[in-house]
Amino acid sequence: MQPEPEISILDSVGVDGLANPLAAAVSQRDKNVLSLVRRSLDRKDVLLAFQPVVEARRTDHTAFYEGLIRVVDDTGRIIPAKDFIDVCETNEIGRIMDCLALELGLTSLSRAPNLRLAINMSARSIGYPRWTKTLEEGLQADATAGERLIIEITESSAILMPDITKVFMERLQDMGISFALDDFGAGYTAFRHLRDLDFDIIKIAGEFITGIHANPDNRILTQALVSIAQQFDMLTVAEAVESQADALLLSQMGVDCLQGFFFGVPTTRPTWPEFPSRARSTA
């Protein structure tokens, strides 16, 4: 998912000194999104949608699930993260969303003892007191949750403060928690950061994966990314796998796990029997 282009004050003014209608519309849209999400948080209308990540050489076996944050709007529609996360990530609401996602994930882990689950967070939430408290309480409630929890951090946020991210990861990895680098190859991470940040899992960006069987350039790029991950002893996940042809090729290329609509769409009604339907916390 590509971030929205930044719009400066100068961008919002045309050559004639009048407000740029497009910039004004974008600004108003962002305000509307923030307002919608805030109302959802106030109502505790936040939940996770779960998508399977399967083993490449045994696709009938789910290695783990990713829990994707969702909000429910004023009409009861479930809104996916792609429709609001870019606007919220740099806002205080983004920190609250990360806390609620973690809370729901830890509750799911406590209710399903065989579940392994990945939860997304922004590096901007590192050191956020409520997030830390949520994690501590979850681990105290279930001693096995840490070894079954995977925290996904996107490339774009991981390099904002690599030194702080490194210390944070090392501390949580000592608790048994694993880390995944999301959207690997999307154009943000310098290789020196990849070397210094000891991720357990690399998730290759879907822009290289979808239709890869018919795209020689993406095959070369993906093979290079797989080789880099193998060099650093990191498990690889291909995102956005949407066909059998792509899945077979990726398996042959040495990718460890596959994720995408071909193997399962995100669902708020997972197959294990007990799960939290809404977040308990308020914003």
DSSP string, the chain: -PPPPP--TGGGB-TTSSBPHHHHHHHHHHHHHHHHHHHHHHTT-EEEEEEEEEETTEEEEEEEEEEEEEEE-TTS-EEEGGGTHHHHTTSHHHHHHHHHHHHHHHHHHHH-TT--EEEEE-GGGTT-HHHHHHHHHHHHH-TTHHHHEEEEEEHHHHTTSHHHHHHHHHHHHTTT-EEEEEEETSS---HHHHHHS--SEEEE-HHHHTTGGG-HHHHHHHHHHHHHHHHTT-EEEE----SHHHHHHHHHTT--EEESTTT---BSS-SSS---SS-----
The pLDDT of 103-125, averaged and rounded, is 95
Contact 202, 225 (CB under 8 A): yes
State both tokens at 52.
């399977």
pLDDT band at 187 (very low <50, low <70, confident <90, very high): low
In this predicted structure, the answer to whether residue 190 has a pLDDT above a threshold of 90 is no
Angle between helical axes of 129-141 and 92-111 (0-180°, round to 10): 0
pLDDT of residue 14: 45
The answer, yes or no, to whether residue 176 has pLDDT greater than 50, is yes
What number is the average pLDDT over the span 92-109? 95
d(CA 237, CA 30): 32
Q: Give the global pTM.
A: 0.86
Confidence (pLDDT) at 12: 36
Tokens representing 21 are 């209608």
Percentage of the chain surpassing pLDDT 90?
Answer: 65
User: What was the pLDDT predicted at 273?
Assistant: 56
pLDDT tens digit string along 69-95? 999 988 899 998 888 888 888 889 999
In terms of Cα–Cα distance, which of 111, 182, 174, 180 is closest to 147?
174
**Residue 238 is encoded by which pair of tokens?**
């291909």
Q: What is the structure's pLDDT at 250?
A: 98
10-259 — its CATH code?
A: 3.20.20.450
Percent of residues, the chain, with pLDDT higher than 70:
84
C-alpha span between 203 and 237 (Å, rounded): 5
- Stretch 173-190: mean pLDDT, rounded? 85
Mean pLDDT value of segment 35-63: 93
Strand partners, 156: none
How remote is the C-alpha of 196 from its chain's centroid? 21
According to the model, what pLDDT value does residue 241 have?
98
CA 123 to chain centroid, in Å, comes to: 11
Q: Is the dihedral of CA 57, 61, 64, 70 positive or negative?
A: positive
Residue 19, pLDDT above cutoff 80: no
Q: Where are the domains positioned within the chain?
A: 10-259
Helices 21-42 and 92-111: angle between axes, nearest 10 degrees:
40
Greatest mean pLDDT among 23-32, 62-71, 189-198, 270-279: 62-71
Q: How confident is the model at residue 279 (pLDDT cuts 50, 70, 90)?
A: low
At residue 9, the pLDDT reads: 30
- Residues 90-101 have a mean pLDDT of 92
Average pLDDT (41-70) is: 94
